[in-house]
Structure formats: structure tokens, C-alpha cells
Amino acid sequence: MELLVSKNNQKSNSIIKIGSNSKGNKPVSIGDGGLSIIAGPCTIESYDQLMTAAHGVAKAGANLLRAGAYKPRTSPYSFQGLEHEGLELLSKAKSETGLATVSEIIDHEDLPYFEDVDLLQVGAKNMQNYSLLKALGRQSKPVLLKRGWSNTLEELLLSAEYIVSEGNPNVILCERGIRTFETGTRNSFDINAIPMLKKMTHLPVIADPSHGTGMSDLVKPVSMAAVAAGADGLMIEVHNDPKAALCDGFQSITVSQFTALITGARQYEKIRSFY
């Protein structure tokens, strides 16, 4: 049986439109051949922290604001996020900046709290949480599905199929690095996955070099490689004070570094149009 997400099942690539925002801007389109950039802090820590980062990435040219309210952490003693309070802060940031928002959902019972979030993220730890995937498939809001840290591309597509087969075709795939024998970086970013997924599926594919490397000084060069490889977008962790971050500060970059990254990424976007 041919999968609904298979390239063979749809002649044209899917273009996912991520809703309008409080300032009436046009929806963000991912998969239309351009490069969309999602940026913001890994976790919402406070009003001031979120707003500083949100205004910073908006000014730099980000298309969407990402920030986590519910955080599934490996250790139960790590900061788990502000949960519902965090989503309320994210709504304020959306209203102030005009950026559409992205946030991770870990339980289908929390869906009512995500009403004002424009793009629902399924993290690597939940890529095979089938009850969550089915629930997201029964609603129409776009879903950003991250590859699990030990999963194959086929398994990623089968997880996407759970969402699409329930009636929601609005799925974006994300390569965020996998676990290998290499210990020099947090994960091994699989650059092969981007062009390979482009061959396998009509769904858009974005890259997360922040988790893919786990090292802030590697985020920019790996971002350039991902854009050159054909990624439809980038997801970048940006924090106003990475050293003080409560989550993933070691892989977060500053707003000024993000501004430089966007400049480079747009240049690579122009270059790739020639091949």
C-alpha cells in the first residue's frame, strides 16, 4: 500500500500554511520553495526573557516564533516548563510581535490550551506516541513532526502517516540529529536526511541544527549546509542570555548571532536556486 505521505502519491510538493496572526500578516508558507526561519528560546522562563528574545528574532527577520511551555526532559529534576502559564505568555508575545507561534505539545489532553498556537510541535521523544499523533490528525492545525533520535527515515514517515491518515494533511518534517557512536557533539546531524526525504515524500522538510549539534558555535555552519541541501526551513534556538538559560543554553545563540545567521542563510537560499 502506497503511503499518503509518499512522493509517489502526490505529484506536487505540499505547501503548509501557518495561520494568520494578531497583526493581520499573511500566513507563513512552508514548502513553497523559499526558506522559512523559526526562532526563539527553547523554553519560556519569564515574561521579560520571552519578550526580549521574541522582539529580537522578529527584528532580525524570523518568520515564526518558537518557545516551549511543556518540556519533556530526560531528567525528572530538570526544568519542565511553565506549562499553561507559558502558553499565555506566548500568546502575548504573538500579539506584540505579530509572529505566528510554534510550541511543543506532549499530551493530547492539553490540546485546548494550544488554541492560540499556530504550529503544534511533536518532539523527538514523542515521535512514536501514536495516541498523540492520532489526536493531532483529528484536528486541522499544522503539525511539526521531529525525527526521533534513533529512528530511521521510514519510521519518521510512518509517524507522519498516523497524522495524515486521520485527516490532517498539514505536516512538516524536521531533521534534528540522531544518536550515533560519535560523542563530540550532542547528536549527529544527518544532512543526508534532507535530500533523501525530499525524494521520499511531498511533505516539507526543515532542519534543527541547534539540537542537531548541541553546540552553539556549530549552529551557523550546519544551518548553511542544511539550506544548501534543500531544507524548506530552519529552527534555531535563540536566547537573550544563553549562559543563564534554564534549558539548552549550550546550544542557544544570541540575537546578534542569529542576525548574522539569517544573513548567511538568505545568501545560501539564493545560491541553491541555481541547481
Domains parsed from the chain with CATH numbers: 33-272 (3.20.20.70)
What is the reported pLDDT for 275? Answer: 52
| Max CA separation in the chain (angstroms) | 51
DSSP category for residue 216: H
What is the reported pLDDT for 24? Answer: 58
For 44, 201, 204, 246, the CA distances from 157, given in Å and listed in that order, are 30, 8, 12, 32
Distance, in Å, from the CA atom of 171 to the CA atom of 38, rounded to the nearest integer, reads: 15
Tens place of pLDDT for every residue, the chain, 275 residues? 799 999 998 889 999 999 864 455 678 999 999 999 999 999 999 999 999 999 999 999 999 999 999 988 788 887 777 889 999 999 999 999 999 999 999 999 999 999 999 999 999 999 999 999 999 999 999 999 999 999 999 999 999 999 999 999 999 999 999 999 999 999 999 999 999 999 999 999 999 999 999 999 999 999 999 999 999 999 999 999 999 888 878 999 999 999 999 999 999 998 876 55
DSSP category for residue 99: -
Q: Is 244 exposed, middle or buried (CB count within 10 Å of its CB: 0-12, 13-18, 19+)?
A: exposed
Residue 120, helix vs strand vs coil? strand
For 35, 165, 179, 247, 269, the CA distances from 59, given in Å and listed in that order, are 17, 38, 34, 23, 20
